[in-house]
Structure 1
Amino acid sequence: MPLRQAATAAGLITGYAADSWFGDPRRRHPVAGFGTVAAALERRCWADSKIRGAGYAGVCAGAVTGLGVAAEAVTRRRPVTRFALTAVATWVVLGGRGLAGEGREMARLLEAGELPAARQRLGHLCARDATGLDAAELSRAATESIAENTSDAVVAPLLWGAVAGIPGLVGYRAVNTLDAMVGYRSPRHRNFGWFAARADDLVNLVPARAGALLTAASAPLAGGRAGTAWRTWRRDGSAHPSPNAGQVEAAFAGALGIRLGGTNTYHGEAERRGTLGDGRPPAPTDLRRAVRLSRIVGAAALAVAAAVAVAR
């Protein structure tokens, strides 16, 4: 096995372990720094234009990806340095521990009946308007966010790191962050954020479906049934308006034996998300099960990513 391939695989494993043990860097998080720079650039170049938005996204994501390409080139004959940079990049872009922590905290608040605090906490997971949501709707919102972000914050960066190394890791996170910043269909970003949203859809097409497949395979380890998860994914995955989010959410619904989907409100606009699954509405206990399933799927994605990196 070439040392470069081994260094990439070992870096992915080490970075995943660092995220699992330590979570996100507490100070000067590079992703937060990227967001700050990208927000400043948006203020300077915003226009109600798809072309202007495409240029903005291309400059932001291209600059970060270019740094990743440079890191790969510099470490081409330095496997130890390649391993170290890959490990750091993986740790920085993953969000598995933070996602699990938010899910557990939401479950704790809901179990304690602290609905105002839970509504406020939901903003840590998604941009949904939580005003007036009851415990069942908050449980659904959090469970759907756990499912979607298992793909976005764990499966996708690992797979991109496996096939494209450091540029794949940092480039994917840049695109995903831009989508979170300007990709929502608010009046300000309907045109300007169009390209960022479509780019995020594109880079997640394969990872989202891989995440759904891994969810179905992992279902028995979370007390579910692989066959039910598979059938629910194949039947309901396309009911969601997003080409990717519904894939993993449907698989989670089948794996946990619950029903997800419904009407959500974002930035004052109601959006119908379809019905995913045949079970009962999720409860706080199901949110804890979703966190466990998310962690299992993340570990499975790591195994796949390491194998792909070795074979690349």
Structure 2
Amino acid sequence: MLLGVALDAVLGDPRRGHPVAAFGRVASGLERRVYADSRVRGAGYTALLVAGAAGLGCAERLPGARVPVTALATWAVLGGTSLGREGREMARLLEAGDLDGARRRLSHLCARDPKGLDEKALARATVESVAENTSDAAIAPLLWGAVAGVPGLLAYRAINTLDAMVGYRSPRYERFGWASARLDDLANWVPARVTGVLTVVCARRPDEAWRVLRRDGGAHPSPNAGRCEAAFAGALGVRLGGTNVYGGRLERRPEMGDGREPEVRDIRRAVRLSAVVTVAAGVLAATVARSVG
């Protein structure tokens, strides 16, 4: 697992032939065949794909395969390095005053409507996305790999990918994607809270990060995202949350933290904190895996 973390740190996501992209193509093809406006049909779709991904992970049991398969699977499912690159690219665009470029680039991090967002709103969106995705992209897969090996790594990434594909409250997916969305919430419940605690441990101001995490972590409408965002808000000394627009729908999120609004310079601070938290999670996951093994 630590070798996989190192591969992700050095190489990032594969440029071509990414296994997650291949899984997405399979999931899209299956959706076209089985889609119906039905929770039962959606649950079957989710179960089949997640079970299939977990089944592929059993390749670690082949003679001599455990180390290379675990390392490659860990590398394939981690996204921490790519997350950091996207954050730094947003910082670069904003530092250069390229608001139009930053608005276009924001879609690489989140589904928020970037139209009309100014520099501070783009900075806040980026910091919030880095905080939330630290759990999804790195901590959650590592923890699932620690307790369930390669099947856990692949099953988690399948769950998270399906949530990104069909886990929306839209006319098409509100029922069909219900199982994927709820399973993603369940799979991330513990990792999100571990992310919050590790953020406190890694923060320069752990007391403030812990205070904001405890006070504001449960205020977010997501059962998991708030823990990550609140811990980052306290650790960075900023205030996150507020009004967001998704697909023309206005959402007012509770504010987290007591500091100022995020500024462009806070993006790079958030990326550095995310990287440190990921390394800490890698050490924790390896320790847990060794104990379980």
TM-score (normalizing by structure 1): 0.92
- Other structure's SS at 1:26 match: coil
Q: CA deviation at 1:269?
A: 1.6
Structure 1's consecutive aligned runs of 4 or more residues displaced over 2 angstroms after TM superposition are none
User: Aligned pair 1:40/2:29, yes or no?
Assistant: yes
The alignment covers a number of residue pairs equal to 292
Contact 2:140 2:191 in 1 (8 A): yes
Q: CA RMSD in A?
A: 0.9
For 1:193-232, list aligned pairs within 5 A.
Answer: 193-220=177-204, 225-232=205-212
Rounded Cα–Cα distance in structure 2 between residues aligned with 1:186 and 1:122: 21
For 1:250-261, list aligned pairs within 5 A.
Answer: 250-261=230-241
Q: Encode CA deviations 1:71-114: one digit per residue, 9 max, x unaligned.
A: 24x33xx3x41010000000000001100000000001111111
Letter in 1 for 2:162: L
Sequence identity of aligned pairs in percent? Answer: 63
Match of residue 20, structure 1, among 4, 9, 13: 9
User: Aligned pair 1:276/2:265, yes or no?
Assistant: no
For 1:153-232, list aligned pairs within 5 A.
Answer: 153-220=137-204, 225-232=205-212
Aligned position for 1:294 = 274
Between 1:188-197 and 1:245-254, the stretch displaced more is 188-197
Letter in 2 for 1:17: A
Match of residue 53, structure 2, among 40, 46, 64: 64
Contact 1:186 1:267 in 2 (8 A): no
Contact 1:102 1:125 in 2 (8 A): yes
Contact 1:15 1:91 in 2 (8 A): yes
Contact 2:59 2:65 in 1 (8 A): no
Q: CA deviation at 1:267?
A: 2.0
Rounded Cα–Cα distance in structure 2 between residues aligned with 1:123 and 1:102: 10
TM-score (normalizing by structure 2): 0.98
Aligned position for 1:4 = none
Structure 1 residue runs of 5 or longer lacking an equivalent are 1-11
Contact 1:157 1:172 in 2 (8 A): yes
Aligned position for 1:30 = 19
Aligned position for 2:96 = 112
Contact 1:49 1:192 in 2 (8 A): yes
